Amino acid sequence: MEINTAISALGALAQEHRLAAFRLLVRVGEDGMAAGDLARSLAVPHNTMSTHLSVLSQAGLITSQRNGRSIIYRIVPDVMRDLLGFLADDCCQGRPELCGIAVPGKTSTSTCC
């Protein structure tokens, strides 16, 4: 993962409503959720939520797809996985105990280190 990709993903998640929306989308999985339902669920005005969703979208963390009058948002699993891998990467260069996570399929071994 490129450093600028990581920065915009971290920045996108570093906001109360966006983090909440992202976590909700993660939980609902590939069914996704309409913009209006997200706004209602999180008690955020629709236009404000729309702005936040576009930030998450531009960071590549979610995608949108029109379905009739609604626009369905879904997470992009790969980007989240890459971000976790990116954050874990450094500590695994020499000091695995600092990160304490394992990333399957990262290399030949079954841990990130």
Q: CA angle, 23 as apex, 22 and 27 as ends, to 5°?
A: 115
Decide: is 49 part of the binding site for DNA (CB under 7 A): yes
82 in Cβ contact with 76 (< 8 Å): no
Could you tell me which residues come within 8 angstroms of residue 101 by beta carbon, excluding any fewer than 6 positions away? 84, 88, 112
Minimum CB distance to a second copy smaller for 68 or for 75: 75
* CB 29 to DNA: min, Å: 17
**Interaction site with a second copy (CB under 8 A):** 3, 6-8, 10-11, 13-16, 19, 23, 26-27, 29, 75, 77, 80-81, 83-85, 87-88, 90-91, 93-95, 97-105, 111-112
The entry of a second copy, DNA, none that residue 35 binds, CB within 5 to 8 Å by partner kind = DNA
Chain positions 79 to 108 lying near DNA, rule: CB under 7 A, are none
Q: Report the relative pairing of strands 70-75 and 62-67 from DSSP bridges.
A: antiparallel
- Main-chain dihedrals φ then ψ at residue 63, nearest 5 degrees: -125, 160
Decide: is 47 part of the binding site for DNA (CB under 7 A): yes
Strand partners of residue 70: 67
Decide: is 48 part of the binding site for DNA (CB under 7 A): yes
Minimum CB distance to DNA smaller for 27 or for 69: 69
